[in-house]
A and B are shown apart, each in its own frame.
Chain A
Amino acid sequence: MNFCLYKYIFKRLGMMVPVLLGVMLIIFFINHITPGDPAVILLGDRADIQDVENLRREMGLNDPFFVQFFRYVGNVIRLDFGTSFVPPHRTVWEEISMRFPTTMQLAALSVVFAILMGIPLGIISATKQYSIFDNIATVIGLLGVSIPNFWQGMLFIMLFSVTLGWLPAAGWSGPQTWILPAITIGTSSAAVIMRMTRSTMLEVVRQDYIRTARAKGQKESTVIYKHALKNALIPVVTVVGLQFGGLLGGAVLTETIFSIPGLGRYVVQAVNQRDYPTVLGGVLLMALAFSFVNLLVDILYAFIDPRIRSQYK
Chain B
Amino acid sequence: MAENIKSGGKETLLDIKGLSIHYKTEDGTVRAVNDLNFKLNKGETIGLVGETGAGKTTTALGILRLVPDPPGKIVGGEILLDGEDLVKKTEAEMRTIRGQKISMIFQDPMTSLNPVMPVRDQIAEVILLHEKVTAAEALKKAEEMLDLVGIRAERAKEYPHQFSGGMRQRVVIAIALACNPGLLIADEPTTALDVTIQAQVLELMKNLKQEFNTAMIMITHDLGIVAEICDKVAIMYAGSVVEFADKYELFKNPKHPYTIGLFNSIPDIDTDVDNLKPIKGLMPDPTDLPPGCPFHPRCDNVKPECSQKMPQNLEVSENHFVKCLLFDDRR
A–B proximity contact (CB within 8 A): yes
Are A212 and B161 closer than 8 Å at their CB atoms?
Answer: no
Tell me if A7 counts as interface (CB < 8 A to partner B): no
Most buried by B among A214, A216, A227: A216
Which of these, B94, B114, B130, B157, contacts A212 with CB under 8 Å? B114
Most buried by B among A209, A213, A215: A215
Q: How large is the interface on A (under 10, 10 to 19, 20 to 34, 35 or more residues)?
A: 20 to 34
Question: CA separation between A212 and B91, bound complex, in Å?
Answer: 16
**A203-240: which residues lie under 8 A (CB-CB) from chain B?**
207-209, 211-220, 227, 230-231, 234
Which of these, A211, A218, A220, A307, contacts B161 with CB under 8 Å? A307
Question: CA separation between A230 and B115, bound complex, in Å?
Answer: 10
Q: How far is the CB of B157 from chain A (nearest CB, A)?
A: 7
Tell me if B172 counts as interface (CB < 8 A to partner A): yes
Give the residues in chain B near A231, CB-CB below 8 Å: 114-116
Are B112 and A208 closer than 8 Å at their CB atoms?
Answer: yes
Total number of A-B contacts with CB less than 8 angstroms?
78
Are A306 and B115 closer than 8 Å at their CB atoms?
Answer: yes
Tell me if A310 counts as interface (CB < 8 A to partner B): yes
Give the residues in chain B near A208, CB-CB below 8 Å: 106, 108, 111-112
Are A217 and B66 closer than 8 Å at their CB atoms?
Answer: no
Are A217 and B126 closer than 8 Å at their CB atoms?
Answer: yes
Q: How large is the interface on B (under 10, 10 to 19, 20 to 34, 35 or more residues)?
A: 20 to 34
Q: How far is the CB of A146 from chain B (nearest CB, A)?
A: 27
Question: With A216-B126, A217-B99, A306-B159 known to touch, is A207 a contact of B111 (CB < 8 Å)?
Answer: yes
Are B112 and A217 closer than 8 Å at their CB atoms?
Answer: no
Chain B: CB-nearest residue to A207: B111
Are B114 and A209 closer than 8 Å at their CB atoms?
Answer: yes
Give the residues in chain A near B125, CB-CB below 8 Å: 213, 216, 218
Tell me if A33 counts as interface (CB < 8 A to partner B): no
Tell me if A304 counts as interface (CB < 8 A to partner B): yes
Are B95 and A211 closer than 8 Å at their CB atoms?
Answer: no
Give the residues in chain B near A219, CB-CB below 8 Å: 95
Are B129 and A212 closer than 8 Å at their CB atoms?
Answer: no
Are A310 and B161 closer than 8 Å at their CB atoms?
Answer: yes
Most buried by B among A213, A217, A230, A234: A217
Are B162 and A215 closer than 8 Å at their CB atoms?
Answer: no
Are A305 and B95 closer than 8 Å at their CB atoms?
Answer: no
Tell me if A77 counts as interface (CB < 8 A to partner B): no
Tell me if A1 counts as interface (CB < 8 A to partner B): yes
Give the residues in chain B near A212, CB-CB below 8 Å: 104, 106, 112-114, 122, 172, 175
Q: How far is the CB of A230 from chain B (nearest CB, A)?
A: 5
Chain B: CB-nearest residue to A209: B114
Give the residues in chain A near B112, CB-CB below 8 Å: 208-209, 211-212
Instruction: Encode contact with A along B173-194: 1 for CB under 8 Å, 0 otherwise.
Output: 0010000000000000000000
Are A304 and B116 closer than 8 Å at their CB atoms?
Answer: yes
Are B159 and A307 closer than 8 Å at their CB atoms?
Answer: yes
Give the residues in chain B near A305, CB-CB below 8 Å: 115-116
Q: Which 3 A-B pairs have the closest CB atoms?
A: A217-B98, A217-B99, A216-B99
Can you identify 21 A-B contacts, CB atoms within 8 angstroms? A1-B157, A207-B111, A209-B115, A211-B66, A211-B106, A213-B114, A214-B98, A215-B106, A216-B126, A216-B129, A217-B95, A217-B126, A217-B129, A219-B95, A230-B117, A231-B115, A234-B116, A306-B116, A310-B159, A310-B161, A310-B162
Supply 12 further A-B pairs (C-beta < 8 A) apart from A208-B106, A211-B66, A227-B114: A211-B61, A212-B106, A212-B113, A212-B175, A214-B98, A215-B106, A216-B126, A217-B95, A217-B100, A305-B115, A306-B161, A307-B159
B contacts, CB < 8 Å to A: 61, 64, 66, 91, 94-100, 103-104, 106, 108, 111-118, 122, 125-126, 129-130, 157, 159, 161-162, 172, 175
